[in-house]
Amino acid sequence: MPKNHQLILLILLSITSVLQAERPNVVFIMTDDQAPWAIGLYDKPTHANTPNLDKLFRAGTYLPNTFVVTPVCSPSRASLATSRYGTEVGVTEWLNPRVEADHGLDPSTQTWYEVMQNAGYFTGLVGKWHLGLLDKYHPTKTGFDYFMGHRGGGWSPVNPTLEVDGQNKKIDGLTTDILTDHAISFIENRPDNQPFLLVLHYRAPHARWLPVAPEDMKPFEKLDPKLPSPDFEGLDVQRVKRFTREYLASTRGVDRNVGRMLETLDKSGLRENTVIVFTSDHGYNMGHNGIWHKGNGHWILKKDSLPLATENIPAGQRPNMYDNSLRVPTCVVWPGVTKPGTRIDSSVTNLDWYPTMQAIAGGSIAEKKIVRGRDLSPLLTGSADGWDDEVFAQYSTRHQSTTHMRCYRTSQWKLVRDFNNPQRDELFNLIADPSETTNVIDQQQHQAIVALLHAKLLSKMKEINDPALP
């Protein structure tokens, strides 16, 4: 080989080596059922007590308009992993082990975890999976070198039975603390010659919330919380207040453990070369509009105030696509990219994490792989041009209710169609009515916007071959 060719090869190898070394680690933290109002930095008054999360949010970029495209666990996690809608990957409702224990995310569907693994990252998932119980759906078949946690959707907040080294084991202690212990161990025992991806999926603040550590409950023991919808007819006020205290205490446990994670990264010297993402799998209602829970909401009303059951919706159920169910608290701390204390109000979704993580890793997406999301890098660097703030979301319920809800949201308007129950269609003016208390779909002056949003909704459904298309 000529000397000049040898020199060029050496230079290229050197550049490759430098780029490899400079690729950041990634810690992707996702809670379960955490609403934006359960963060101390929430734009409106809140009872949340989250000093560590507040500090993290101030250290990077806050994305207050982050939405999930399905407001329950399994399809949201499937969309996060694949950048596809739930109907496209066969996960449209939370996976119920009592009726569909053999169902899960097809491991042949490339995830961004695989993209990062193939790019040379050492990858680990600690915590909740909820994308299939069987071995063929195991996280290690979907892009993870390491897994510790729970394959299903829910488990106890204390003394849980978790999979450790391939074996189910009952572990004494608070679940949030235990998961953090293993996440820290993953970081401390990782290979030294690879960047790493740690996906930390907390169970909290998913109900049931108690028990929690005494220090996590203490700020809320005497709290008399202000209610978001205090005048809602028939509201079970005392139940809402008790649930609020317990929920916020569980969130405080998450915050304390996020502090432990940040301390680990600081002490190990990894913080300066680690991207940290904090988000949740969907939002949560706590008395808002008379309900609690998420997309498969429940009325939290006194018995004599419950709406009557319908053919498809039992009494006590309130399936919904409120912003409180779809919006999630989110921040990104990306050294050298995000600036401390910045805020971006553009609308983004959980579909966007796939191309963003691919950009971070420098990995390649499989040929013909469809990616619905957008790389957030231009948005985070201030170089995005003409960012589209419109959001399409979908949710078909089948375990408690039977619905085919589809949502099209702009910065001002939200249209919700239920193709199984058209009497439940809704239109909200998000500027005049951000709490979505007044359905204006039947008002004559809004029929033009209804028609416009309906056309956009149908166009999106056709694009993804949505089975709910009329």
- Are 222 and 258 in contact by the 8 Å Cβ rule? The answer is no
Mean pLDDT of 56-84: 98
Which positions ≥6 away from 50 have C-beta within 8 Å?
Answer: 38, 39, 40, 41, 251, 252, 254, 255
Phi, psi at 425, each rounded to 5°: -60, 145
CATH number at residue 469: 3.30.1120.10
- pLDDT of 22: 77
The tokens for 467 are 């089975």
- pLDDT of 364: 92
Summarised one tens digit per residue, pLDDT across range 202-245 is 999 999 999 999 999 999 999 999 999 999 999 999 999 999 99
CATH number at residue 375: 3.40.720.10
> Three-state SS for 23?
coil
**Residue 12: in which H helix or E strand, if any?**
helix 3-22
- Is residue 4 one of the residues assigned to a domain? no
Last residue of a domain, one of 322, 355, 387: 387
pLDDT-derived band at 14 (thresholds 50, 70, 90) equals very low
Between these two residues, 18 and 121, which has the higher pLDDT value?
Answer: 121
Q: Are residues 366 and 413 in the same domain?
A: no
- Whether the pLDDT of residue 1 is over 70: the answer is no
The tokens for 86 are 């739930």
Share of the chain above pLDDT 70, in %: 96
- pLDDT of 67: 98
Mean pLDDT of 131-138: 97
- Are 256 and 52 in contact by the 8 Å Cβ rule? The answer is yes
Q: Are residues 143 and 90 in the same domain?
A: yes
Q: Are residues 45 and 188 in the same domain?
A: yes
Greatest CA separation for the chain:
89
Number of domain units in the chain: 2
Q: Are residues 332 and 430 in the same domain?
A: no
Mean pLDDT of 10-26: 54
- Whether the pLDDT of residue 111 is over 70: the answer is yes
Nearest to 357 by CA among 106, 27, 41, 19: 27
- Is residue 140 one of the residues assigned to a domain? yes
- Is residue 15 one of the residues assigned to a domain? no
Q: Are residues 382 and 448 in the same domain?
A: no
- Are 124 and 117 in contact by the 8 Å Cβ rule? The answer is no
- Whether the pLDDT of residue 28 is over 70: the answer is yes
Which positions ≥6 away from 108 have C-beta within 8 Å?
Answer: none
pLDDT-derived band at 17 (thresholds 50, 70, 90) equals very low
- Is residue 8 one of the residues assigned to a domain? no
- Is residue 17 one of the residues assigned to a domain? no
- Is residue 392 one of the residues assigned to a domain? no
Q: Are residues 159 and 260 in the same domain?
A: yes
Q: Are residues 122 and 213 in the same domain?
A: yes
- β-pair type (122-128, 327-328): unpaired
The tokens for 328 are 């999630």
Last residue of a domain, one of 387, 420, 440: 387
Share of the chain above pLDDT 90, in %: 92
- Is residue 352 one of the residues assigned to a domain? yes
Q: Are residues 424 and 324 in the same domain?
A: no
Q: Are residues 376 and 439 in the same domain?
A: no
Q: Are residues 367 and 464 in the same domain?
A: no
426-431-437-438 Cα dihedral, nearest 10 degrees: -60
Residue type present at position 74 = S
Rounded distance between C-alpha atoms, residue 44 and residue 146, angstroms: 39
Angle, CA of 348, 456 and 446, to the nearest 5°: 105
Q: Are residues 348 and 431 in the same domain?
A: no
- Is residue 341 one of the residues assigned to a domain? yes
Summarised one tens digit per residue, pLDDT across range 263-321 is 999 999 999 999 999 999 999 999 999 999 999 999 999 999 999 999 999 999 999 99
> Three-state SS for 377?
helix
Last residue of a domain, one of 338, 356, 387: 387
Compute how many other C-beta atoms are within 10 angstroms of the C-beta atom of residue 109.
Answer: 18
For 442, the domain range is: 404-470
- pLDDT of 2: 53
Q: Are residues 156 and 246 in the same domain?
A: yes
Classify burial at 188, counting beta carbons within 10 Å of its beta carbon; exposed 0-12, middle 13-18, buried 19 or more: exposed
Query: Which residue matches tokens 């053999």?
Result: 102
